[in-house]
Structure 1
Amino acid sequence: MNWVDLSWFFQPWFFQHMAVLPVLLPALTAVALLLLGDHGGDSHGGHGHHKLLWARRIGMASAALGLFLAVFLVMRAAQGELITYRLGDWPAPFGIILLVDRLGAMMLLLSACVALPVLWYATGGWDAHGRYFHALFQFQLMGLNGAFVTGDLFNLFVFFEVLLIASYVLMVHGQGAERFRVGLHYVVLNLAASALFLIGLALIYAKTGTLNMADLALRVPAVAAPDAAVLQVAAMLLLVVFGFKAALMPLAMWLPATYAASSPPVAALFAIMTKVGVYAIVRVHGVVFGDSGGASAFAVAPILLPLALATSVLAVLGALAAKTLARLVAWLTVVSVGTVLAGLGLYGSAAWGAAFYYMLNSTLVIAALFLLAELVAAQRGDADGQLVPAAPVAQPTLLGLMMLLAAASAAGLPPLPGFIGKLMLLEAASSHAWAPLVWTVLLLVGFFTLLGLARAGSILFWHVRQDLPANVSAGGSPKLVRATCSLLGASVLLSLAAAPIQRYTQAAAVQLSDRAAYAAAVLGAFGEPGSQPTTRPYLEPSQPVPLQEVKQ
């Protein structure tokens, strides 16, 4: 092969393999990092330091390549193509199917946009505080990416477990009594949620004979009572599981303590983890058990919307009562989840598209705030991140401006993307029966978010103690500052490119309702994309498939 000729890169057979690369790349990188060996937490000379340098180079190169792959997949998905990949060449629904659509590609890109700056930040010293940080980071990315591209529920469970196992160790990275205490709660609660997940999957498989999501979208409407009641119970169990992962009230009380106790780069990476639960709710309860689910349709809308609004209200009250900046940001993570789920609870492509746009910005801003919280805390001496007057920080102008930008976007002030996302949500809710309540909650939550961050900023930067000596630190490392600014810059880009991104998120929402297209791509003859489905060609979303015809 002529190595100068790169035309092979643009061949259709190569494109087909692109769907598996976001999973393979971090997996192979993690294995390579394990083979490299552990630096033993030694960042000061010696053989361990040499290993750490190579681990940083390999991890950063892999994260950068992952970002390139995500951009490429978004460009392909933007054309409306459903990219499928059959592991082992087994046809669906019997084999493992990976699927990349507009929403999946967008989530891959969001994950990569968070991962690269966070890993860059961690190379400033946090990765030397524990063992195998870079390998665990890559396994976490493998689980995240796998959850966003899997085409069946069982492998969604598998990738959930991969990212959770990695998160268990990352959560206690750097050690400390507080991290071990909340880490134990985190592990126990997630194991209980995983058990419920398996029970729900068993009930679904018992009544439909499949866990492939495209296949379920066809089979679930054909299940009649009384079996449909079993599917509704399974849907409720899965809502509990996904609600716990997404931090939906009253299942979110574990999150603030867990995220606040984690090391800053780990907490920033965890900002994307709650979105995995949101993503699963969209896939399962929005599509499979949505309004086209026939007798098995699970009426999640009357439950999801009030729970989402309650989540935002309770979380913003928690943010106002927070005594540390990290805890405040952790509560804002729950606030953002409630706002996104409120958009999903409104149903309809307009509301879903608005929720997707808002989710992009809130994830980037929350990740940046976790890193910024550590930058500020490191310059306040013994006060650390506590919201009490202390000695002035060494970089008040730089950190203050970064805090102002993040606060304005999180609260939804114009012309930042937080404002655009909330405006889209308010417009989508205008014709809904709950419109007055939705408008009231979203606007008040935005106001109290701004109030909480303004209170924190005034204490951190203005209410300084003159009786304490000024901080003689030279300020945060340029690497740490640039990594944090890159997340804030990505958020600003959402505002500068608001129109095309909005069109993309709206198209992603519309695509989710096209069950016929998913059936054709996933269940088509020989599993080839674009072929006719083996069940029934091009069904309308509201047209159920007779179960006997599905079995054929």
Structure 2
Amino acid sequence: MNWLDHLPILPVVLPLLAGVALLVLRNRSLAVQRGVSLVAALALIPLAIALVQTAAEGTQLVYALGNWVAPYGIVLVVDRLAAWMLLTTSLLAVFALLYAIRGSDTQGRHFHVLFQLQLFGLNGAFLTGDLFNLFVFFEILLLASYGLLLHGGGRLRVKAGLHFVVINLVGSTLFLFAVGTLYGVAGTLNMADLAVKLAATPPDNLALVQSAGLLLFAVFALKAALLPLYLWLPAAYAHTSAPVAALFAIMTKVGAYSILRVYSLMFGDAAGPVANLLDPWLAPLALATLTLGMLGAVASTTLRQQAAYLVVASIGSLLLAFGLGSRDAIAAGLYYLPHSVFAAAALFLLADSIGRARGDFADRFESGPAMPGARVLGGLFFVVAVAIAGLPPLSGFLGKFMLLKAALDSPLLPWVWSIVLVTGLLSMIALARSGSLLFYRTHSPHDAASLTPPTTAALAPVGGLLLLVAGLVIWAGPLSDYAHATATQLLQPQQYIEAVLGTAPRPPEGRAPARGTPVGSPLLGSDPSAASGGMPLLAGTVP
């Protein structure tokens, strides 16, 4: 065994160790803390690329912590979907951090510690194969997000943070209720094992399982900001600092990921009496979320508020693709997901630079002074607007085209086409109005010295995110193929189940194997020397 066998756990361990190291270095210079944080964030990118390359071959890596075979021990699972989410998160994190180290990280204490713990929670949520540990990683990333949201203080930020905390604490409580119910019925929380046992749910327990499944959906919908549970998001995202808002662009996607993972695995076509639990709910709610999110964007009074509502609209588009449920629709959503993350993050960062360049007028939609560097800011705003509105030639257009094409066989075809096209028009109107008010309806400033011109350090992360959006177009063919392969893998959950559970023998009377006892199975191998002294090891791969 070599260190490559431990690759699946490195995206979880690395930010955790970086966060601990930053706590130890809290009294050192800010330059040292920034360097450690940036190196840790950059190191996640090659790790994620390596996992994507492995997953692209169809391999599902199962990593058993403590050498405990599933379902008795904790496992991390790397498949195409998990690797895709890891890569998106790692790329976003680097550019958000590059923007933060130009000064935003000095507004409060422990920014870099919280940033790394946020990545720890995000990566863990994408990799865990256990429902309870999904809850644990949710709590880790939410605790870190509370601190990041309030970083720098201020009345509006504290008010929005209070709403964010209270609503998410309610969601966490409901999560525990759902998890407890499923454990009481099935006796396990390993998601692969749950998929097997829920498919054989007896009639007496059917109502309990369905109630727990819908309760889980409510929790994930809250995290994803799905209607009617999105009201916490606009204020929270609009009033926090720019790099935090940019990082939060992936937060709603954690809820969307959880919906896709849990309901394709545990409540999919092969789930017997609990199959297709979300079919009546997900697509209609996604259409409503898309509509109201875009109306909020049209009615917004500041650019950051508009960006927040556009995040709500993007989650509507994403969950609409997942809600249609076909291979092509899910693939369209997976291709659209990184586009929506990078474009929204770029708009949050750009809105901050625009607000600084307008002085006291900030990013409010009202006639203000002509900005220094208006040509550069205006050019970047135009590209971001094209990306978010879904206009050619950028990846937003390709994602929506794939979604509309996938809807041709859906009974919701008239609703999907009409709402997606109308909201696309509304996004163009909203962003055109914003650009006109910010860049054209201007007057000569009374005190030009009070206006802060944009710097290269501030605009470079925006440009980097837009290059990622362009990369989604340049490599649209292979990325689309990867998305379709991921959708195929998700719609065949038996592969995931076999990768996690294998053919490991069950101990008598449902008891777990003794600690440290080698278990002979295709997952761990029958050779006791394969164990590494109780350390985590690669449980196995299934093509």
What is the CA distance between 1:271 and its match in structure 2?
Answer: 0.4
Rounded to whole Å, the distance in 2 between the matches of 1:211 and 1:98 is 13
- Partner SS state of residue 85, structure 1: strand
Tell me the equivalent position of 1:539. none
**Matching of residue 145 in structure 1 with residue 123 in structure 2:** yes
- The farther-off stretch of 280-289 and 316-325 is 280-289
What is the CA distance between 1:529 and its match in structure 2?
Answer: 13
Rounded to whole Å, the distance in 2 between the matches of 1:470 and 1:270 is 33
Rounded to whole Å, the distance in 2 between the matches of 1:530 and 1:486 is 46
Rounded to whole Å, the distance in 2 between the matches of 1:178 and 1:280 is 30
**Matching of residue 323 in structure 1 with residue 314 in structure 2:** no
**Matching of residue 28 in structure 1 with residue 6 in structure 2:** no
Show structure 1 runs of 5+ residues with no match. 1-11, 39-49, 535-552
Rounded to whole Å, the distance in 2 between the matches of 1:92 and 1:452 is 50
Contact 2:129–2:192, Cα closer than 8 Å, also in 1: yes
Amino acid at match of 2:68: W
Contact 1:329–1:369, Cα closer than 8 Å, also in 2: yes
What is the CA distance between 1:306 and its match in structure 2?
Answer: 0.6
What is the CA distance between 1:526 and its match in structure 2?
Answer: 5.6
- Partner SS state of residue 302, structure 1: coil
**Matching of residue 514 in structure 1 with residue 505 in structure 2:** no
Contact 1:77–1:101, Cα closer than 8 Å, also in 2: yes
Tell me the equivalent position of 1:70. 48
| CA offset digits 1:461-488 (Å, max 9, x no partner) | 0010246454675622211110111011
- Partner SS state of residue 312, structure 1: helix
What is the CA distance between 1:286 and its match in structure 2?
Answer: 2.6
What is the CA distance between 1:367 and its match in structure 2?
Answer: 0.6
Tell me the equivalent position of 1:428. 406
Rounded to whole Å, the distance in 2 between the matches of 1:338 and 1:292 is 26
Tell me the equivalent position of 2:112. 134
| CA offset digits 1:60-105 (Å, max 9, x no partner) | 0000001110111111111010011111111000100000100000
Rounded to whole Å, the distance in 1 between the matches of 2:367 and 2:520 is 61
Tell me the equivalent position of 1:269. 247
The match for 2:330 among 352, 362, 373 is: 352
The match for 1:207 among 185, 198, 205 is: 185
Contact 2:264–2:493, Cα closer than 8 Å, also in 1: no
Show structure 2 runs of 5+ residues with no match. 506-518, 526-543
Tell me the equivalent position of 2:172. 194
Tell me the equivalent position of 2:522. 531
- Partner SS state of residue 378, structure 1: helix
How do 1:12-161 and structure 2 match up within 5 A? 13-38=2-27, 51-161=29-139
Contact 1:391–1:471, Cα closer than 8 Å, also in 2: no
**Matching of residue 453 in structure 1 with residue 449 in structure 2:** no
Tell me the equivalent position of 1:5. none
What is the CA distance between 1:295 and its match in structure 2?
Answer: 1.2
Rounded to whole Å, the distance in 1 between the matches of 2:134 and 2:57 is 25
Give the total of aligned pairs. 512
Rounded to whole Å, the distance in 2 between the matches of 1:108 and 1:274 is 15
Rounded to whole Å, the distance in 2 between the matches of 1:335 and 1:515 is 29
How do 1:389-428 and structure 2 match up within 5 A? 389-428=367-406
The match for 1:227 among 168, 187, 205 is: 205
- The farther-off stretch of 510-519 and 445-454 is 510-519
- Partner SS state of residue 415, structure 1: coil
- Partner SS state of residue 182, structure 1: helix
Rounded to whole Å, the distance in 2 between the matches of 1:532 and 1:91 is 8
Amino acid at match of 2:36: I
Tell me the equivalent position of 1:376. 354
Rounded to whole Å, the distance in 2 between the matches of 1:26 and 1:320 is 38
Amino acid at match of 1:463: R
| CA offset digits 1:245-298 (Å, max 9, x no partner) | 000000001100010011000010000000000000001123211222211235
What is the CA distance between 1:525 and its match in structure 2?
Answer: 4.4
Contact 2:62–2:77, Cα closer than 8 Å, also in 1: yes
Amino acid at match of 2:24: L
Instruction: Report percent identity of matched pairs.
Output: 45
Tell me the equivalent position of 2:151. 173
Q: Evaluate the alpha carbon distance shift between residue 477 and residue 212 of structure 1 in structure 2; reply closer, same or farther with a 3 A threshold.
A: same
- What is the RMSD of the two structures over their aligned residues, measured on CA atoms? 1.8
| CA offset digits 1:437-459 (Å, max 9, x no partner) | 10111111111111111111110
The match for 2:481 among 503, 506, 525 is: 503
Rounded to whole Å, the distance in 2 between the matches of 1:533 and 1:72 is 22
Contact 2:192–2:265, Cα closer than 8 Å, also in 1: no
Higher relative contact order (CA 8 A, sep 6+): 2
Contact 2:351–2:363, Cα closer than 8 Å, also in 1: yes
Amino acid at match of 2:313: V
Contact 1:246–1:276, Cα closer than 8 Å, also in 2: yes
- Partner SS state of residue 226, structure 1: helix
Q: Evaluate the alpha carbon distance shift between residue 523 and residue 323 of structure 1 in structure 2; reply closer, same or farther with a 3 A threshold.
A: same
What is the TM-score of this pair, normalised by structure 2?
A: 0.92
Contact 1:344–1:352, Cα closer than 8 Å, also in 2: yes
Contact 2:114–2:148, Cα closer than 8 Å, also in 1: yes
Contact 1:349–1:510, Cα closer than 8 Å, also in 2: yes
**Matching of residue 494 in structure 1 with residue 472 in structure 2:** yes
Rounded to whole Å, the distance in 1 between the matches of 2:115 and 2:150 is 13
Rounded to whole Å, the distance in 2 between the matches of 1:278 and 1:454 is 29
